[in-house]
Structure 1
């Protein structure tokens, strides 16, 4: 039986704790915040409630596998509700596109919105994405990183390489398959699921769209924070000890391997294994002492492009919006200008800034747990944003900046036909700087490093760290961000550690 210290109670850390405790290890989970969940947070005031991180679950089978491996069915712990329609889109010219929750109905919906033949274009692309998924799921998403061998696993045949096309970008794939400009915009959006730029992100990210449509989008009744609470309860039931309000300030290394962690108050917790669910860049920059074994990883992270962050408004609204969808996305006229701004490239080269005309994403579940009465709504409003980077980029703590940009986002909503300013009870603003403080993600980068470039996409920080006894899970480690992938990172790490 190994003594295991898990840093962070994001779903990657909690899933690792549950699996390792079920395998018989002595597990202690350490969380700086007063509650579990990490980026899967919850904010409540005056009867209004908001998920402040992910708003849907895809690939629920990954969580069914987690719960089955640790003691009982997922559905005994949470209530999953299929989201249908999945998303209501509105393009800059006012064209609406409502995507059904069932993949078989999607082509017809696209034909209705964008014209005959457009549904077939999208269906052909999804067929290509399905083939990409079959090729990459087991050798990449469910297996540990193995350096260059990771990419070699994808090269089992020439036809597989041609299908995945690692040299092609997501934007390039769109140009090859999609003639309608709105469909290209739609595919571009899936780069943001990994905090990336579609002009640099790999074509294989089309699998995100495929997974969302093939396996459905799901909501957890009561808010997605219930999923984090359920995994924490499962870990505790298996014997894990969860300590909130316990910030880790150092990973201890002795004799060339990890020896435990030191907490902010000076307490040292000895451990044979340390599983880090915190941001990988933060781990290597601040939690680990200088060590020659970590130099290569530090250099790689320094060369990588950090993922984008998010600027969030939590809107408590009176009244209800007729015909409102669970998820709504309002696209700008110039999507490239948005990516240029948040990454500081192109027309904003070297000077990242809040996008002047951003895409606006709105999540508003029809769930009594999120509102004080039937005649009210709670909107989580997100726009892509540059990370918090004082001195070299955007300092989100600059006095007045957050309030000015919040007003700009509300104005953007109004211009696109959703003026809610006269319905506003109150508004809470959350910036990338707030995300950094709350979750210790460097700069508030949601996914650690972006997938801008093939190597960045396929060679994220590995689950086995360069110091013996150190393991990484969560959205900044392999295989990437998003609720299903962080659970897979925990499955990979637990498999490498093995039973007691």
Structure 2
């Protein structure tokens, strides 16, 4: 039985802790805040409740696998999870388009797009996602299910099999924006670009492989946990406790201690020392002091200073949620897209005569001046008829609030890793040049998002339990 110290109680850190505890290790989680879940929080006021982080789960199989591997009770007995259908509604005011796309139905999506954009639109859309499927098949294991290889050339090249129609595209792989423009065009291309922007990824700079993100949504669906996504964090925390994982809250880590050339424990801010055989860093490793240990270059995320954050508005509305309301709406607007979430969940509202709505937009880290609340309300009104008349109050959720919850500088929110672009959209490996120190959570391979962070649990646990021979989940 080894002693494992885990820094942070985010989703990836807890997923790692639960798997390590099942393997027989003694695991203790040290969290600087007062609760678990990281960005997966909940805001409550006057009987209304809102998710402060992700509002939907993609690739639910990641958490199903976690619960199967760590106990007798499967995920579905721990949370009430339902697939959103329609999966998403797109509102494009500048194109005069308002279309809802069904969940996990290739034919249904094609029919809806034909009706909105004209005959043949659905076929073009499915052709693009078919090429995205090829990219998914080519990189799924090395990008999501296996430790990051030392030789990353296979992930540096863009796997998206683009149609090459011009000299420009013969010289270099296309960006996602070029894929959207050349293979879809007009408002249909905007659907693809907007879906990728919602992840905090710039289509003008991202490789064509970013098309795997809408492909995953359409193929595996979008899922909501009744009671809010915080209920998923609670279920993972409870599973950790069932497996005898210990949690110490209010425990800020000052240093990762080393001895004999490997990680040997932690020094906490209160001066106490923690001995450990291995350390799992479940937070952005840049948050640890530079003097903490001799950081190898590959242990620090290579992302630039333009990391995305989120700004949100929690809206308390009078009046019942209309029947047939779509759970998620994307309102596309030049320079700013907003996502409007309207869950049909009694746990989010004081009674049936009110509705709780969450509006979010991607913004830069550190500030909200570029996205004023009145602009979010204006765009949200495209998705919620009579919004101004129904509004009781609204509360802003800013990058500063995200920073307070997660510690990420400026409230940065990591996006999923992508293949292509020379490997610049990858995250650091789960192992480091310091033996016994591992990286988990959204700031490590394979990147951000609920599902991707959860995948780090299987990767880090496999590396600790099986060692260098571990080749990935089966």
TM-score (norm 2): 0.89
Asked if residue 330 in structure 1 is aligned to residue 335 in structure 2, the reply is no
The structure 2 residue matched to 1:132, chosen from 125, 132, 135, is 135
Helix, strand or coil for the counterpart of 2:446?
coil
The structure 1 residue matched to 2:101, chosen from 96, 99, 102, is 99
User: Paired residue for 1:494?
Assistant: 461
The structure 2 residue matched to 1:173, chosen from 175, 179, 202, is 179
Shift of 1:173: 2.1
d(CA) in 2 for partners of 1:160, 1:317? 45
User: Paired residue for 1:267?
Assistant: 272
* Conserved? CA contact 2:415–2:449, under 8 Å: no
Shift of 1:66: 1.0
Asked if residue 308 in structure 1 is aligned to residue 286 in structure 2, the reply is no
Helix, strand or coil for the counterpart of 1:33?
coil
Deviations along 1:429-458, one digit per CA (max 9) or x if unpaired, are 121122112211121111079869724555
User: Paired residue for 1:116?
Assistant: 119
Helix, strand or coil for the counterpart of 1:289?
helix
Helix, strand or coil for the counterpart of 2:296?
helix
The structure 1 residue matched to 2:362, chosen from 373, 384, 387, is 384
The structure 2 residue matched to 1:466, chosen from 433, 440, 443, is 433
User: Paired residue for 2:470?
Assistant: none
d(CA) in 2 for partners of 1:312, 1:242? 30
d(CA) in 2 for partners of 1:136, 1:450? 11
* Conserved? CA contact 2:438–2:460, under 8 Å: yes
**Stretch deviating more after TM superposition (19-28 or 480-489):** 480-489
Shift of 1:202: 1.7
Helix, strand or coil for the counterpart of 1:141?
helix
Shift of 1:184: 1.3
CA distance 1:448–1:243, shift in 2 (3 Å): farther
d(CA) in 2 for partners of 1:450, 1:50? 27
User: Paired residue for 1:59?
Assistant: 59
**Stretch deviating more after TM superposition (43-52 or 254-263):** 254-263
Q: Which runs of 5+ in 1 are unaligned?
A: 339-357, 389-393
CA distance 1:417–1:154, shift in 2 (3 Å): closer
d(CA) in 2 for partners of 1:206, 1:448? 14
Asked if residue 214 in structure 1 is aligned to residue 228 in structure 2, the reply is no
Helix, strand or coil for the counterpart of 2:129?
helix
* Conserved? CA contact 1:80–1:218, under 8 Å: yes
Asked if residue 243 in structure 1 is aligned to residue 244 in structure 2, the reply is no
Shift of 1:134: 1.1
User: Paired residue for 1:477?
Assistant: 444
d(CA) in 2 for partners of 1:41, 1:91? 30
Helix, strand or coil for the counterpart of 2:58?
coil
Helix, strand or coil for the counterpart of 1:492?
helix
Aligned residues: 456
